[in-house]
Every structure is written in structure tokens, then in C-alpha cells.
Amino acid sequence: MGVSKEDVEGILTSAMKPTHLQVVDTSGGCGASFEIEIVSEQFEGKKLLERHRMVNAALAEQMKEIHALSIKKAVTPSKWNPIPKVQEE
């Protein structure tokens, strides 16, 4: 039994209370590879390594089946500034 994008979203939503969460299934449907962007107050005062550990810990059970988990962003809401598109003059 694989892990679905919805499983990952559900677990992270309840564990991390994110203000922004984007989970992308990069496995082509088999559910073994995901990319994650997560913004949460719980990352406040935590170093990058600790923030990643929190995400890994929340998904500990699923990590047994997930082959590749790429955490693209794990930041606090105050650090969350999606880069604005540069306007051509």
C-alpha cells in the first residue's frame, strides 16, 4: 500500500498547522516521491535542520514507504515571501 499526496497533506496539516502547504507528487502516481513546501508558525526560532527534522518526524511512519522526500521550503509565515515576478520595463 502506497502513500498518497492526500495522506501527506492530511498528516502535515494536523501536525504542523501550516498557513501554506503544497505537496507535489513527483513519482508519477506510485506515491513514493514528494516535493513539499510548508509554512508554519511552529518553525519559529528553529534552524533549518530542526525545521526539516520536524517535517520528517511528522511523516516518520510514511517515510518507511516514501523513497524520496524533497523539502523545498520549510519557513515561518514572516519569512514566506513568494518571489514576485519581475516586471519588464
Partner 1 sequence: CSATQDAELKSTIDKVVNSEKVVLFMKGNKDFPQCGFSNTVVQILKSLNVPFQTFDILENNVLRQGLKEYSSWPTFPQLYIDGEFFGGCDITLEAYQNGDLQECLEKAMCS
Residues that bind partner 1 (CB under 8 A): 48-49, 52-53, 56, 60, 63, 68-72
CB of 61 to partner 1, least distance (A): 11
Q: Which residue lies nearer to partner 1 by CB, 12 or 69? A: 69
Write out the three cell numbers for 38.
Answer: 510548508
For the chain, where are the alpha helices, taking DSSP H only? Answer: 5-16, 48-58, 60-63
Q: Which residue lies nearer to partner 1 by CB, 17 or 53? A: 53
CB of 57 to partner 1, least distance (A): 8
Residue 1 contacts residue 21 (beta carbons within 8 Å): no
Q: Which residues pair with 68 in a beta bridge?
A: 33
Q: Which residues pair with 22 in a beta bridge?
A: 37
Q: Which residue lies nearer to partner 1 by CB, 49 or 86? A: 49
In angstroms, rounded to a whole number, what is the distance separating the alpha carbons of residues 40 and 16?
6
CB of 76 to partner 1, least distance (A): 15
